[in-house]
Structure 1
Amino acid sequence: MITSRLAALARPGLGALAMALLAGCSVLPASLPFFGSTVEKPKPAELQANPGLLGVRQAWVARIGEVSYALGPAVNGTTLTLASGAGSLVALDSASGRELWRANAGAPLAAGVGSDGTTAAVITRANDVVAFADGKETWRQRMPALAYTPPFVAGGRVFVLAADRSVTAFDGRNGHKLWTQSRPGEPLVLSQSGVILAVGDTLVVGQGGRLAGLNPANGSIRWEAPIATARGINDVERLTDLVGRVSRVGTNICARAFQTAVGCVDAARGTVAWTQRANGFEGVHGDEANVFGTEADGKVVAWKRDTGQRAWTNERLLHRGLTAPLALGRSVVVGDSMGFVHFLSREDGSLLNRLSTDGSPIVAAPLVAGNTLVVVTRNGTVYGFVPE
């Protein structure tokens, strides 16, 4: 199987030049030469008429500079922190779009942003973890491996999940390294965001195709729960890394394994509730009833949270390059590679409304900051939408 993310795969031992070349090819052209032939990119589905059943209006627009990596904005209350591909960070008030502070990491970014509302952290392509407070750099530390997942900042610490599947903890005040937990894995890695979050007093991370619960004080493993198992005859087919975002309800965590499966885990006990075969490379979101995801071919799928059985499937957005979804109110929100934002019904997946942006791809899964829906495009335009 060939997907648009195959060009975003790399071996950990490749040099910086090779990595840069690979990272720059994460989106396929309209046709791709392949073994002397031409593989045509499927034609995106035509848009259906917009029923306008959900009242949404644009409240503000801001600009951060072109986003050339898998942006993971940070939300803390009504403060939204984002970063451009060139390394510029900006904190915005989500209600008005007003700029609160601006900083610069001094180098292009590979991942960002993580923040607890006090400390914000990003990762540069030179493998530096850079931390800021109130727009001023406080420390930076060099990582021994590439990292594409935004740092997770919590409890006065900065946790980094690297592409080699290791996890490192730094003191949030001064950058002192506290511990590193390593795990051997498959030789290929994904240049996109993985999974790292806190559930109670446990740090939950994606390592290969499994969720692992770590002790945040020392990195020791408390439990492991497999969502997917590596199979196949080559390294690409064996790649099953978990990808962000995830859906969390209490201690129930649902996640996607790249091109393989979607599943849910009880993070209190470290046990798997269910897994289902699924072919996608973007994360999931959900509510107490369902888990929502977008497949590689553009299907939007809802799985019942308690059993994993399909609740509904929407096939009206095929081959439109969809983001991970956001469950919001009575809708499921997804962005596409043409700059449209689609609002689908949580009940049956039918279209409720559609908004347009600047025409460039939506590069981050839609998110909520305060009472504002936030969407970011590749051109670096940040949109704030609110209910009418």
Structure 2
Amino acid sequence: MKTIRSLLAGFVILTLVACGKTTKTDFFGVEEEAVKPKVNTTTKLKRNWRLSLGDKIRPGDAVLSPALFGDNIYVATVKGKVDKVVASTGKRVWRAKIDKERITAGVGVGSGLVLVGTNDGYVHAFKQSDGSQAWKTQLDSEVLASPVVGSDVVVARSGDGKVYGLDTFDGEILWTISRQLPKLTLRGESRPVVTQGVVFSGFSDGNMAALEAKTGRALWDFPISFARGTNEIDRLADVDTDPLLVGEYLYVTSYREVTHALNIQAQRIDWSAEVSSFNAMAYDAANLYISDRHGVIHQLDRKTGEQRWKQEALRLFTTSAPASIGQYIVVSEGDGGLYVLRKSDGSLVGKHKLGAKSIIGQPIVDDGNVYFLDSDGSVQSISIGESS
């Protein structure tokens, strides 16, 4: 059953990727043709630096998002490389290497550690200072969500539905909880969120759980997405997108359902919006930005969930997770284009060459710069401004 699940989930993902170039294709054939929009570009792109990691990213590879901690970027490749890079210059500080394993989850950073997970079920912890290995711990299945550090606990998730609490000092397994998987799931797991001694984790059955970080004790569950339909494809309810914690709210979206604003203090859902995605969300002081599974970009009011605008010009393209930078939103469209949207009304105000096919994973925004991994296996730093 595990093999069937992986093959079917992989097929779903490849189907979604395949529809990004020129057509939307499902199990029954071509439905619509995607047409690239014409853009009157009024922005300029500054490429601060680009560092090749040496390994291109192929369809079906793990989605490994970079992490920013202090003045450095931490990034990994599927083929076992883990790098520490100076954020301001793109200079590599150190490289660690994992032999005979493929990295399937990462990167997590904190408590002096850099963390990744592998296809063999190992969580590897490297020292932030010099890249030497601090410890490694084997779980029961491959690791498909980036390990997260919270206080004295590393929280990791495996592909068989389990969540683990590991000791940050030596990787000892402190606790384990398990959830039964549906017959069919998307390949991947949402990254846990750890705050104030509580772990929040989404599951493939459509639920969001709150756990005590020290013990793994279940505190409460919320249904986020419901299985609907007459076949297993229609009934996909995965919460695979990383939850977004902003203040007292945890914003959660799922593959086929809605986006919720979960008030974690009051333990209630304050609003829901009919927008779903498998991409990470972006935000600013007032709004959420979501690139949905059809390639449409949405701006939602963070307090009410009201949709302020949506941009459909990239519909049917495989748009990346959005990045919020100043007055702009930036997304890639899967065929080498980097598009800039104005936040005030969602209008397209820029199209630039990405330098690769697409952005991989979740971009990082800091001090006016966007950092991201691209499909050519490079880390880039860019900034966006008005053209002179």
TM exceeding 0.5: yes
Letter in 2 for 1:310: Q
Corresponding residue of 1:61: 50
Aligned to 1:264: 261
TM-aligned CA deviation for residue 174 of structure 1: 1.2
Looking at structure 2, the residues matched to 367 and 199 of structure 1 have their Cα atoms a distance apart, in angstroms, of 20
- The answer to whether structure 1 residue 48 and structure 2 residue 38 are counterparts is yes
Per-residue deviation, 1:287: 2.6
Partner of 1:228: 225
SS in 2 for 1:243: coil
Aligned to 1:162: 158
Separation in 1 of the partners of 2:270 and 2:185? 26
Q: Could you say which residue in structure 2 is the equivalent of 1:125?
A: 119
Question: What is the CA-CA distance between 1:370 and the residue it aligns to?
Answer: 5.1
Task: Give the match for residue 6 of structure 1.
Answer: none
Q: From 279, 286, 299, give the equivalent of 1:302.
A: 299
Q: Does structure 1 retain, via aligned residues, the 8 Å contact 2:339–2:350?
A: yes
Cα distance between partner residues in 2 of 1:154 and 1:88: 24
Q: What is the aligned counterpart of 1:252 among 231, 249, 253?
A: 249
Alignment of 1:90 with 2:83, yes or no, is yes
Q: Secondary structure at the match of 2:330?
A: strand
Q: Distance in 2 between matches of 1:18 and 1:382?
A: 30
C-alpha spacing 1:81/1:209, structure 2 compared with 1 (3 Å)? same
Contact preservation (8 Å) 2:111, 2:151: no
Deviation, 1:360, is 2.0
Count residues in correspondence.
Answer: 374
Among 378, 383, 387, the alignment partner of 1:381 is 378
Contact 1:78 1:369 in 2 (8 A): no
Residue matched to 1:8: none
Residues 247, 291 of structure 1: 8 Å contact kept: no
Matches within 5 A, 1:177-216: 177-207=173-203, 208-216=205-213
Offset at residue 257 of structure 1 (A) = 1.0
Deviation, structure 1 residue 239 = 1.9
CA contact (8 A) 2:326 2:368 kept: no
Q: Give yes or no for the alignment of 1:339 onto 2:336.
A: yes
Q: Structure 2: 5+ residue runs without aligned partners?
A: none
Residue 115 (1) aligns with residue 104 (2): no
Residues 120 and 153 in structure 1, CA contact (< 8 A), matched pair in contact too = no
* Aligned-pair Cα RMSD in Å: 2.7
Q: CA-to-partner distance for each residue in 1:166-186, whole Å, 9 max, x for gaps?
A: 210111221111100112242
Q: Which amino acid aligns with 1:156?
A: D
Residue 72 of structure 2: aligned partner: 79
Check the 8 A contact 2:39/2:348 in 1, yes or no. no
Structure 2 residue identity aligned to 1:52: T
Distance 1:235 1:247 in 2: 28
Q: Which amino acid aligns with 1:124?
A: T
Q: Is 1:289 paired with 2:283?
A: no
Sort the Cα spacing of 1:98 and 1:290 in 2 relative to 1 into closer, same or farther, 3 A: same
1:49-107 Cα shifts (integer Å, max 9, x gaps): 24224x54111110112233211211112211111111111111111101111011222
1:153 matched to 2:149? The reply is yes
Q: 1:266 to 1:300 in 2, by over 3 A?
A: same
Q: Alpha-carbon deviation of 1:300?
A: 0.6
Q: Is the 8 A contact 2:9 2:184 kept in 1?
A: no
1:14 match: secondary structure: helix
Taking the aligned partners of 2:333 and 2:239, their CA distance within structure 1 comes to 21
What are the superposed Cα offsets for residues 334-385 of structure 1, whole Å, 9 maximum, x if unpaired?
2221132222122211123333222322212321245531122111021111
**Matches of 1:33 and 1:48, distance apart in 2:** 23
AA in 2 matched with 1:101: W
Q: TM-score, normalised by structure 2?
A: 0.87
Cα deviation digits, residues 270-313 of structure 1 (max 9, x gap): 21112222343223222342221112221111122222221101
Residues 31 and 46 (structure 1), Cα distance of their counterparts in 2 relative to 1, 3 Å cut: closer
Matched, 1:241 2:234: no
Closer, same or farther: CA 21–242 of 1 in aligned 2, 3 Å: closer
Farther off after superposition, 102-111 or 26-35: 26-35
Structure 1 unaligned segments of length 5 or more: list them.
1-10
> 2:95 matched to which residue of 1?
102
Query: Is residue 217 from structure 1 mapped to residue 206 from structure 2 by the alignment?
Result: no
Q: Distance in 2 between matches of 1:33 and 1:353?
A: 28
Rounded to whole Å, the distance in 2 between the matches of 1:223 and 1:375 is: 34
TM-superposed CA distance for 1:21, in Å, is 7.0
Determine helix, strand or coil for the equivalent of 1:323. coil
Aligned-residue sequence identity (percent) comes to 23
Return the letter of the residue paired with 2:126.
F
CA distance in structure 2 between the aligned counterparts of 1:22 and 1:188, rounded to whole angstroms: 11
